[in-house]
Structure 1
Amino acid sequence: MPLPEAANPRGNNWPGAANVLGSEPSAYLRQHAGNPVFWRPFGDEAFALAAARDVPVFLSIGYAACHWCHVMAHESFEDQETADYLNAHFVPVKVDREERPDVDSVYMTATQAISGEGGWPMSVFLTPEGLAFHAGTYFPPVPLPGRPSFRNVLEAVHEAWVERREAVEQNARGLATNMANAQLSSAVRLDGPPEVVDAQLLSDAVRVLARSEDPDAGGFGSAPKFPPSAVLEFLIRHAAAALSETAEDAQDMAGRALAGMARSALCDQLDGGFARYSVTADWSVPHFEKMLYDNAQLLRVYAHWVRLGGNEVFPAEEAADVASGCADWMLASLGLPGGGLASSLDADTVVDGVHHEGGSYLWTPGSLHEVLGPADGQDVARMMNVGAQGTVSELGSPLHPGRPLSASESRLWQRVRPALLAARDLRNQPARDEKVVAGWNGLAIAGLAEAGGVLDRPDLVAAAGEVAAYLERVHWNAEDGLLVRVSHDSKARGIGGLLEDYAFCAEGLFSLYSVTGTKHWYRLAEQLIRAAETRFVDDGHLADSAGESAQVFNAQGQRAALDPFDNATPSGAAGFAGVLLTYSAYSGSHAHRLMAGNILGLLPPLATRAPRVAGWLLATGQAALAGPVEAAIAGSDSSLRQELHGALLKSASPGMVVAVQMDDAGSPAGEGEVPLLIHRTGAPDGSPQVYLCRDMVCGRPVGTVAEVQSMLARMASGAS
């Protein structure tokens, strides 16, 4: 019912006029529950209201840890006059991009097409059918050079809607048609001839990446600079391909990037973990939010660098310390009761009601002197680039050496670090977004399990198992074959998982199986793959989502969308190709190998034109080119079997799958043996032995670590 005029004196008396975000579980949506804007969550009800009122939808997309989202909220969404205008002429809708990446993806594409830029906060104006007709990102409260004020934009859009409706709707339909046509160019059929990966194509991709590398600071491109996690995985796999003419170049590029990030302000030198990105090319000024998806991927990449053996630029021992610190931070800071991992820590710290970007992490020479005394304080300030002028704000600068520490500096740092961390812990801390995202937790399972195997840390493997158990218990409905994307307080809610969620969870479970031998995790990964085939493959075409929203479907021209490009995480298509390849190696399924090859058909046009957004496809292509190698360990449990298993887990063979026979008391009765282990036996005396196979050809079983390593080296060199 309309609100009485006395209760709503500004005339915003449309039905249900109120901000209804207070009951939403999303931390980001709840951040806006106190705004005078009458926000509604994304859904049919909001769009039906827009149709009934004959007004556009104003769609604002962001996430809880987003600094500029906080800025626009304070400047515009907390301003009563702006809110009154917005409420009177639009239906305002808030979306947490991490909760609804399907919504974020389609309207990000529209925003980039309309405005030429993308980012968050994202501001999009939609018809009641969900079609975008105007968009931008952050709008200031007053006009700035090249950027109108938010109020100017609202008034111009309202005027166009009232005075030029036909043209507005025609443009919206045209944009949707263009987006549909673009989808046709990236369509994947899973019933066609598979792509045969060309080794030269992968080498060419390395050469193209080298042209955009920053050889001084490491990484690619200029500021802002993001951690290139998927690309680094490809470069590390490529470096392990001994026959490749660009293997050394790949290893050098990966080493420079990993060293540059690890020694910079992007990496929290006190507590471990990585920030989202750097606003400077030399990684010296981070944008301070810490995301689970970044740290899960980087943990795995640093562990794989250790597995590769490192190089002079970035020794494996240093990488092992970084990986351990990242894992410890992730579990301590994002771990939740019950086993799941939270999404992020905010970029801002709130002090006396004021947001300070990175406030928890900044130091001045004076604050260092106060904690450490004048002598150590001066030495640490010089060593960690803390000057009188703060690089972030008047609060100071982040700690970072930007170079390798000398032996004496390392001793000093290890001595003072506990005191600095204890002092920092007394400060106000950034807020935590406690929603659990299935796919990101899947990436974390892979990182924790593989790091545990490489670093000989069973505690990390155990933590990976707890995360996997949480996902199975809370997110997975085996009866319906449905994986729910998000949970809060151990309760699943919202949309079904997207292709990326199924793929990343299966990826993590396969990694956990390879380290533990617990075949229950293998069987759960298999169920996810089968469910994904049912959910995301229609008439031979692969899609990122299963049509959770009619408005999203309309906005993309009523075609199922598949985005082939990596973003902060690998694309769903690339992730699915990777798990299909892994599954085919474990199971012997020719059909799933063909499906992986079909998706790799996306690779040729991307490998040399845009390799920076095709890292996981390239990594999967490298694994396919390598076989991948299939390793099966059979025979009685013993210290030798553990040594053989450890040697395989520490092999850098691209995409290698590892299966080990276990008594497996942790698996339910009735779960059959993993196909790769069927008919595999120990030596005649029962001692363990390893079977190594590639491309349906197996070598003779071997029973020592030296023989395993020798055979893997021969396989990498192309010998049989």
Structure 2
Amino acid sequence: MASRLSEATSPYLRAHADNPVAWWPWGEAAFAEARRRDVPVMVSIGYSTCHWCHVMARESFEDAAVAADLDAGFVAVKVDREEHPEVDAAYMATAAAFTQNLGWPLTVFVTPAGRPFFAGTYFPPEPRGGLPAFRQVLAAVDEAWTERRDQIEGTGGAIVDALAEVRGVAGAEEHVLPSVDDLAAAATALAAREDTEFGGFGAAGGALEQPKFPVATALRFLQTRLVRTAAPDAADVAVRALAAMAGSDLADREEGGFFRYATRRDWTVPHYERMLTDNGQLLDVATDAGDRATAQGIAGFLLHVLVQDAGGFGAAQDSESWIDGARSEGGYYRRSAGERSELAPPAVDGKVVTGWNGLAIAALARAGARFDEPDWVVAAERAAAAVLGANVLPDGTLSRASLDEIPSRAPATLADYGAFAAGLVALAVATGDPAHARAARGLVDACLPAEPTAATPAATPSAPGGPDRVLAAQGMLAPDSSGDGDEPSGPSALAEAAIGLWLLGAGETYRATAEQLVARHGAVAVAQPLAHGALLRQAASLALPPRQVVVVAADAGDPLSVRARALDADIVAVVTPAQAADWVAAGFALFEEKTLRGEAAVAYDCTAFTCRLPVTEPDGLAN
């Protein structure tokens, strides 16, 4: 029988298609099969550039004896966490009840009704380092299922109830929009976590064997105009962190870009996978810091390594590659450029994730405009066209991802809608083309709830497809999270898109939407700034009157336009007279009455939509 994974739109699932394990993809059919056979389900979650996922696959899932045990006593489900982030979040939340060592591969055993009763991460083929062998785990779970079914059902039921209780508590958070003082205090608290010895976040003077992540979401908050004015010492932390990373082993000096994280706090011994999420956001960090060299390295990695044939960007490049007939973790990246040219590079996960491409589109558009790199803006336009072409379904909703221009059956999340819409807003500003902004507005509007009623007075924005249907039916939805770990959360991403539309004059509804999203999680974000950098960045945008600059010029290379692009402003849009008219016709009020003066370019410098007298000379624009 042909593998159920061979036609998947996930390189991770396809890599397991030839396993002797009779894998099922995520879906109700797998649980129906478990009910029919009256056996538990083993859910194995990972992603294609995960080193330990590769290791467990080679050691266990490619082993015929292990496969026989799995197929005899379980329904085995393979999940790409990048394709199904809600599934990963739900099971990761339950796994905390069984192990403190959370990560991937994530191995969760659940009843046919979807109730988790045991979880772990990597299990070796033989007992090792305090871990049982994977076959021992399978045998123990099978015995418990056969002999102690009531206990298993009780454990699973308690976990589902606990998840529901956490969701209820999260929904009852105090809604408050952080003030300037709140945000300055959050920035100061974040800066206090700086590793003053090696840069970034971590305890100075601690053991070197501590992993360190870029945490780009937090760095971007520290670069906001509010932090630079209200807590300038905190803003300097971001500058030092970027310089430390750019000068360390975390940066790939041969091909550009940054690796996922360092296993030591001095930024050495990286975990070598290169992710789109990290590099898209770090390109923005470099742009805000005015670091052209670092920006060029990241852009080069995106445009020459991750880019796919249709123009979208793949999810990541693997840490492993083949060297001298053996799999090597990081060996390729430790070679010089000349030595690399003789080797096959690590594989790229070509899955085009909607929201992650939004992050890259926004960063390339902003960096291209800031550093006068038109090829970067063109690359952002190609990526946007690729996502709009492959990831938009016939009903107008978004798919989470696509592979080879074939959309996944997994629906897009709120973060996908928000991040892609925010990318389109940034692209509209960089190109002067309102068509991108119109598309962004449509995506944000699709997430807005119907008018509040007595029954639903505080309905919040949500992805049109709703939550994962299998999880929802099982009562297994993860707690609503505003946490911004390695990427912006759904509320943060949608708030950014809504703020961008409001700044362009799309209407006060969009500011109100952003305020609702930020206020819902504002208190916890201020209290835990490291975990909520993206939400705090949006709060900072709402706390100060915005500065919007529109330049109307026949030539985008006009000196006035060049000067404007270097300004410290929330929006700098350079448009032709025809484009300005198109913006107005599309419903963006910022561009109303913005015209040339004769043949001369004109700059309109506005604060909260109130503009100073227009200027025609570069010296008339103050930073």
Gap regions ≥5 residues in structure 1: 1-15, 307-318, 364-419, 711-720
**Which of 1 and 2 has greater Rg?**
1
Specify which of 274, 287, 290 is matched with residue 303 of structure 1.
Answer: 287
Secondary structure at 1:22 match in 2? coil
Q: 2:95 pairs with 111, 122, 125, which one?
A: 111
- Choose from 642, 649, 656 the match for 2:565: 649
Contact 2:362 2:427 in 1 (8 A): yes
Equivalent residues in 2 for 1:203-352, closer than 5 Å: 203-221=184-202, 223-238=210-225, 241-242=228-229, 244=230, 246-247=231-232, 249-306=233-290, 319-351=291-323
With over 3 angstroms needed to count, the CA separation of the structure-2 counterparts of 1:176 and 1:541, relative to structure 1, is farther
User: Per-residue displacement from partner, 1:402-431 (whole Å, max 9, x unpaired)?
Assistant: xxxxxxxxxxxxxxxxxx413312113211
Distance 1:140 1:154 in 2: 12
The answer (yes or no) to whether the contact 2:226–2:540 under 8 Å persists in 1 is no
Q: Does 1:701 align with 2:598?
A: no
Determine if the alignment matches structure 1 residue 637 to structure 2 residue 554.
yes
Q: CA deviation at 1:626?
A: 2.4
Give the counterpart letter for 2:118 in structure 1: H
Aligned amino acid, residue 392 of structure 2: W
Question: In structure 2, do the counterparts of structure 1 residues 601 and 117 end up closer, same or farther at CA, with 3 Å as the change threshold?
Answer: farther
Q: Equivalents in 1 of 2:11, 2:581: separation in Å?
A: 36
Query: Which one-letter code corresponds to 1:709 in the other structure?
Result: A
Distance 2:172 2:497 in 1: 16
Could you tell me how far apart the structure 2 residues matched to 1:578 and 1:669 are?
Answer: 20
**CA separation in 2, counterparts of 1:535 and 1:427?**
55
RMSD of the TM alignment (CA)? 2.7
**Cross-structure match for 1:470:** 386
Q: What residue is the counterpart of 1:628 in the other structure?
A: 546
Q: Please list, as runs of the form range in 1=range in 2, the aligned pairs for 1:334-373 lying within 5 A after superposition.
A: 334-351=306-323, 354-363=326-335
Please list the CA deviations of residues 107-152 of structure 1 after superposition, one character each: whole Å capped at 9, or x if unmatched.
1111123323321101111122222221111112222344332222
Distance 1:359 1:535, change over 3 A: farther
Matches within 5 A, 1:641-680: 642-653=558-569, 656-662=570-576, 672=586, 674-680=588-594
Question: 1:520–1:667: 8 Å Cα contact kept in structure 2?
Answer: no
Please name the residue that 1:617 is paired with.
535
Write the distance in 1 (CA, Å) between the matches of 2:157 and 2:537: 37
Count of equivalent residues: 613
Contact 1:633 1:660 in 2 (8 A): yes
Quote how far apart the aligned CAs of 1:659 are: 3.5
Deviation, structure 1 residue 85: 1.1
User: Which amino acid letter does the alignment assign opposite residue 693 of structure 1?
Assistant: C
Structure 1 residues 666 and 241 mapped into 2: Cα distance closer, same or farther (>3 Å)? closer
The answer to whether the 8 Å contact 2:13/2:78 transfers is yes
Change (3 A) 1:588 1:362: closer
Pairwise CA distance, 1:441: 0.9
Q: Which amino acid aligns with 1:706?
A: D
Is this contact kept in 1: 2:482–2:521, CA < 8 A? no
Query: Alpha-carbon deviations, 1:646-670, whole Å to 9, x = none?
Result: 33433333xx123444356899999
Farther off after superposition, 50-59 or 697-706 = 697-706
Q: Identify the residue that residue 532 of structure 1 maps to in structure 2.
A: 447
Q: Deviations over 1:33-74 (max 9, x none)?
A: 222211111111111101101111100011111100011111
Equivalent AA in structure 1 for residue 469 of structure 2: A
Can you list the C-alpha shifts for 1:600-642, whole angstroms capped at 9, x where unaligned?
12444333432111000111111112222222334x4146x74
Paired residues for 1:437-516 under 5 Å: 437-477=353-393, 480-516=395-431
Residue 19 of structure 1 deviates from its aligned partner by 4.4
Contact 1:509–1:522 under 8 Å retained in 2: yes
Counterpart for residue 601 of structure 2 = 688
Superposition pairs of residues 373-388 of structure 1, within 5 angstroms: none
Match of 2:13?
A: 29
Change (3 A) 1:19 1:238: same
Q: Which moved more, 1:55-64 or 1:160-169?
A: 160-169
What is the CA–CA distance in structure 2 between the aligned matches of 1:181 and 1:628, rounded to whole Å? 39
Letter in 2 for 1:500: A
Could you report, residue by residue, the CA deviation over 1:191-231 in whole angstroms, capped at 9, with x for unpaired residues? xx974431111121122213322111111126221111111
Query: Counterparts of 1:698 and 1:460 in 2: how far apart (Å)?
Result: 31
Q: Percent identity?
A: 37
CA distance in 2, matches of 1:130, 1:301: 41
Structure-2 change in CA distance of 1:194 and 1:480 (3 Å): farther
Contact 1:445 1:464 in 2 (8 A): yes
SS in 2 for 1:135: strand
Task: Give 1:171 shift.
Answer: 1.9
The range that moved more, 561-570 or 279-288, is 561-570
CA contact (8 A) 2:584 2:591 kept: no
Q: Letter of the 2:38 partner, please give it.
A: D
Query: Which position in structure 2 is the counterpart of 1:568?
Result: 486
With structure 2 as the length reference, what TM-score do the two structures score? 0.92
Distance 2:452 2:262 in 1: 38
> Which of 472, 478, 481 is equivalent to 1:553?
472
User: What is the aligned counterpart of 2:524 among 603, 606, 609?
Assistant: 606
CA contact (8 A) 2:215 2:485 kept: no
**1:421 corresponds to which of 333, 337, 360:** 337
Which residue identity is paired with 2:51? H
Identify if the C-alpha distance between structure 1 residues 119 and 545 changes in structure 2 by more than 3 Å, giving closer, same or farther: farther
Q: 1:509-544 deviations in whole A, cap 9, x for unaligned?
A: 111111110111111111111122259999413446
Aligned CA distance change for structure 1 residues 347 and 680 (closer, same or farther; 3 Å): same
Residues 682 and 194 of structure 1: CA distance in aligned 2, closer, same or farther (over 3 Å): farther
Give the unaligned 5+ runs of structure 2.
204-209
> What letter matches 1:202 in structure 2?
L
SS in 2 for 1:37: coil
Whole-angstrom CA distance in 2 between matches of 1:117 and 1:149? 17
- With over 3 angstroms needed to count, the CA separation of the structure-2 counterparts of 1:544 and 1:124, relative to structure 1, is farther
